[in-house]
Amino acid sequence: MKLTGWGNVPVLDCNVSAPRSEAELKAVIARGHAIARGNGRSYGDSAASRSNTIDMRNFDRMISFDEETGVLVAEAGVLLADVISACLPRGWFPLVTPGTKLITLGGAIAADVHGKNHHIDGSFRACVDWIDLMGPGGEVTRCSAGENPELFDWTLGGMGLTGVILRCAIRLRRVESGWIRQQMIPARDLDAAIEIFEDNLGATYSVAWIDCTATGDRLGRSLVMVGEHARATEVAPQHRHRPLHVPARPRRTFPFPLPGFALNPLTVRAFNALYYWNGKRQTGISTVDWDSYFYPLDSIAKWNRLYGRRGFLQFQCVLPLERGAPGLHALMEAIAGSGQASFLSVLKRFGPQDSPISFPMEGYTLALDFPNTRKTRDLMPRLDAITLAHGGRFYLAKDARMPAPTLARADPRAAAFAAWRRETGLAPAFSSSQSERLKL
Amino acid sequence: MTGPVLILGARSDIARAIARAFAAEGHPIQLAARHAENLGTDRDDLQTRYGVEVSLHDFDALEVRQHEAFVDGLPVLPEIVVSAIGVLGDQTENEDDVEAALGVIRANFEGPALILGVLANRFATRGSGTIVGISSVAGDRGRASNYVYGSAKAGFTAFLSGLRNRLARQGVHVVTVQPGFVNTAMTAGMDTPGALTAEPSEVGEAIVNAVKKGRNVIYVRRIWWLVMSIICAIPEAIFKKTSI
Ligand SMILES: Cc1cc2nc3c(=O)[nH]c(=O)nc-3n(C[C@H](O)[C@H](O)[C@H](O)COP(=O)(O)OP(=O)(O)OC[C@H]3O[C@@H](n4cnc5c(N)ncnc54)[C@H](O)[C@@H]3O)c2cc1C
Ligand SMILES: NC(=O)c1ccc[n+]([C@@H]2O[C@H](COP(=O)([O-])OP(=O)(O)OC[C@H]3O[C@@H](n4cnc5c(N)ncnc54)[C@H](OP(=O)(O)O)[C@@H]3O)[C@@H](O)[C@H]2O)c1
């Protein structure tokens, strides 16, 4: 069956099975070269193995939720969206969430995802109490910071290459409402944006949408958005009697893949300019529902069709704090100079992170997406080189094309991970198209 | 009304989605299946997600002489019953092997029809209730590729239609569900056309809706009504030479 990640490239012909029990799962793993697949929201080929892709979405049961402590035990195929539906009405929200709720808990752990609060709360790891992991022989190991810590450490951010996550216990955050108080702060250029991030390190959430099409002294102009969970008393009067309840948003489906020329540098430039000026008019504080705040793109199902059949490429790197500003300048200049335009570009400040293979490090992360054209494919290695020159590294959940030497140079941890996998027999029992390309 | 919902064949993907859809509306759920004891995580799931009461019940549709006792053993007589029981079987095997064909006919027609008949009588006595039977578009017209399964479903569809007619004036409603393709274990490995293939959750939501609105016959996805109308309109002289 043909599989792709969210970016729609590469398209791989894969053998896919969807086990329904641990016994079935064990038998499938035994075939070798196995990789678990969650909801397919990673962009490239992380969740695909030509010979043995395991769709984990049948493991989608919530096992228990403690309303006193906010600890949820659930199977790995449960969607974050379902966690929110079940737990928000009881006053709990995920501690860490990426920009889409349509991911599984297994995917959140394997990529050790980050949210807009990384600078305060860290990555998804911060909310994981324990994981049950099925190994090459079908054996199930419970791992946590205290029990089998090495396996736990490599599993968070290990991109499915340490085994198949069966279930986990995660801790949620207590909230009084389903609303976020958001403040929109325009930044005229990159340095202004960085200054705003540094001034707002105490805010729970911060993220910037950055206009990658602006040049010259507007290079890096942005809208920085900071947010806090609204207290019950801060919710708009018409919703205050049920502060945890947010009226459902209409859902639309992007009807068909747009023709390739629809998103060209000109239309992207126009969109970005409009977005900036529109955002600038909304400067100040507003109260936004959780769904619109955290998951603006989820309201349009299949929005990736915007890029047409050729698909699109994500680029996400993180630069260490001390070299963030010059590195970002260099990246933005390279993009602006290439004449290629990133439709949606997001900048975010990471806090410290201490784990052996997860993506984040203290500094700035930039996420870009480009239509998959020859010109943008040529741009990628230049962005790689700038990232390397500034001591940065790359997010595997977004990667579809990086060559192995680039990863090796960016991230010495990759070689250690690969060696550990071989020693423990996890390679080649577990492998993805990505791990083969990157020699993990 | 959020009375208890009994789900027969509760392990199936479609049944799980139906249980969730009713539980999300606050209905207590009775899960009935063979080897109900290993539905523990499904019970936990419904309780955790929706905070409703869930009970597990052993049930084999083919043990037709035990049906009365099964219903007597339920904690309360449900408000709504849904049957998701069915066996697709293998058509070529069914052509040669009487036991295989008998299994398919019994599991799709005899078993589900008789248990719903028992519940129908109880509901009629009480004067309320809703019966939901999952049949299949395969029952709308017999085709070479699966007519053993299809004819059993046709029998089940006719049974539901008769039941609805009989109970219409006794406060009991009957819903016939005609799924086309659904993405489940039953169709795993089959290359079904995307636009015609429903997710189990769509079936669940469609059933909750049909019960609320008192619908009689629903197709999921709806397009299947049109597809089957066309297939049924083809004259037999032509149809017999096709391979649809
Ligand atoms: C619109 C959008 C916004 C996003 N925003 C962010 C963001 O803000 N921050 C961020 O960090 N990420 C973000 N992402 C990326 C996304 O959160 C990750 O790629 C996540 O891993 C996807 O989860 P999934 O369930 O879809 O997993 P998949 O994409 O199916 O798989 C991802 C990885 O997880 C592994 N995996 C999945 N399930 C299991 C399991 N049961 N056991 C072992 N391994 C498993 C796979 O092998 C694979 O390596 C975004 C993605 C999209 C589409
Ligand atoms: N999937 C489709 O495309 C499709 C299309 C049209 C109609 N349908 C119908 O939808 C219903 C659900 O099907 P599904 O797709 O979810 O497939 P499924 O997983 O195969 O479900 C069938 C269920 O019937 C149960 N069952 C079979 N014989 C039984 C018996 N003697 N006693 C008790 N339970 C019995 C099975 O229980 P065990 O777990 O104990 O085996 C199983 O849970 C079926 O009626 C099917 O015919 C499905």
Residue A222 Cα distances to A209, A297, A305, A345, angstroms: 6, 19, 26, 10
Plot region of B171 (φ>0 → left; ψ -120 to 50 → alpha; else → beta): left
Our CA-based measurement puts residue A163 at a distance from the nearest CA of chain B, in whole angstroms, of 22
Instruction: Decide if A105 is inside a domain.
Output: yes
Contact A52, A32 (CB under 8 A): yes
Contact B33, B111 (CB under 8 A): no
Give yes or no for residue A271 having a pLDDT over 80.
Answer: no
Range of the domain at A35: 2-55+419-438
Residue A261 pLDDT grade (very low, low, confident, very high; cuts 50, 70, 90): confident
A340 CB-near residues (< 8 Å, 6+ apart):
A265, A370, A373, A375, A376, A379
Q: How many residues does chain B have?
A: 244
Same-domain check for residues A235 and A91: no
Instruction: Decide if A320 is inside a domain.
Output: yes
Residue B1 pLDDT grade (very low, low, confident, very high; cuts 50, 70, 90): low
Q: Running DSSP on this structure, what letter comes out for residue B107?
A: I
Instruction: Decide if A292 is inside a domain.
Output: yes
Q: pLDDT (tens digit, 9 = 90+) per residue, A281-330?
A: 778 889 999 999 999 888 888 888 888 888 999 999 999 999 999 999 99
Distance from the CA of A54 to the center of ligand 1, in angstroms?
14
The helix (H) or strand (E) run that includes residue B94 is helix B91-96
Q: Report the C-alpha gap between A207 and A187 in whole angstroms.
A: 12
- Which residue type does A421 have? R
Q: pLDDT (tens digit, 9 = 90+) per residue, B109-150?
A: 999 999 999 999 999 999 999 999 999 999 999 999 999 999
**Residue, of B44 and A303, whose pLDDT is higher:** B44
Cis omega (within 30 of 0) for bond into A231: no
DSSP-derived 3-state class of residue B30: strand
- B39, B42, B45, B54: which to substitute to probe chain A, counting the most A Cβ within 10 Å? B45
Q: Judge whether A65 is closer than 8 Å to chain B, CB to CB.
A: yes
pTM value is 0.95
Q: pLDDT (tens digit, 9 = 90+) per residue, A131-170?
A: 999 999 999 999 999 999 999 999 999 999 999 999 999 9
Atom of ligand 1 nearest to the CA of A158: 49
How many structural domains is chain B composed of? Answer: 1
Q: pLDDT (tens digit, 9 = 90+) per residue, B141-189?
A: 999 999 999 999 999 999 999 999 999 999 999 999 999 999 998 888 7
Instruction: Decide if B170 is inside a domain.
Output: yes
Same-domain check for residues A397 and A321: yes
Burial letters B128-142, b for 16+ CB under 10 A, else e: ebbbbbbbbbbbbbb
Contact A41, A150 (CB under 8 A): no
Instruction: Decide if B220 is inside a domain.
Output: yes
Residue A274 pLDDT grade (very low, low, confident, very high; cuts 50, 70, 90): confident
Q: Judge whether B68 is closer than 8 Å to chain A, CB to CB.
A: no
Question: Which residues in A lie closer than 8 A to residue B42 (C-beta atoms)?
Answer: 61
Q: Running DSSP on this structure, what letter comes out for residue B106?
A: I
User: What's the CATH code of the domain at B72?
Assistant: 3.40.50.720
Q: Judge whether A302 is closer than 8 Å to chain B, CB to CB.
A: no
How many structural domains is chain A composed of? Answer: 3
User: What's the CATH code of the domain at A170?
Assistant: 3.30.465.10
Same-domain check for residues A24 and A118: no
**Residue, of A268 and A191, whose pLDDT is higher:** A191
Instruction: Decide if A319 is inside a domain.
Output: yes
Same-domain check for residues A198 and A156: no
Atom of ligand 1 nearest to the CA of A160: 44
Same-domain check for residues A197 and A143: no
ipTM here:
0.90
Instruction: Decide if B244 is inside a domain.
Output: no
Range of the domain at B108: 5-239
User: What's the CATH code of the domain at A264?
Assistant: 3.30.70.2520
Atom of ligand 1 nearest to the CA of A297: 1
Q: Name the closest residue on chain A to residue B50, using Cα atoms.
A: A86
Same-domain check for residues A100 and A241: no
Instruction: Decide if A412 is inside a domain.
Output: no
Distance from the CA of B31 to the center of ligand 2, in angstroms?
14
Average pLDDT over residues B14-31: 98
Instruction: Decide if A238 is inside a domain.
Output: yes
Q: Which residues line ligand 2 (CB under 6 A)?
A: B 9, 11-14, 33-34, 59-62, 84-87, 107, 111, 134, 136, 179, 181-182, 184-187
**Residue with token string 């995580």:** B41
- Catalytic center residues of B: 149
Q: Judge whether B185 is closer than 8 Å to chain A, CB to CB.
A: yes
Same-domain check for residues A214 and A123: no
CB contact under 8 A, A75 and B41: yes
Same-domain check for residues A387 and A336: yes
Question: Which residues in B lie closer than 8 A to residue A64 (C-beta atoms)?
Answer: 44, 48
Ligand nearest to the CA of A207: 1
- Of A174, A209, A227, the residue at which a domain comes to its end is A174
**Residue with token string 């390679």:** A427
Instruction: Decide if B16 is inside a domain.
Output: yes
Contact A391, A34 (CB under 8 A): no
Contact A159, A293 (CB under 8 A): no
Phi and psi at residue A105, in whole multiples of 5°?
-65, -35
How many C-beta neighbours within 10 Å does residue A429 have?
20
Question: Which residues in A lie closer than 8 A to residue B45 (C-beta atoms)?
Answer: 60-63
Same-domain check for residues A289 and A362: yes
- Of A140, A174, A208, the residue at which a domain comes to its end is A174
Instruction: Decide if A414 is inside a domain.
Output: no
- Which residue type does B232 have? C
Task: Pick B49's closest partner by Cβ from A20, A62, A75.
Answer: A62
Same-domain check for residues A145 and A194: no
Same-domain check for residues A33 and A166: no
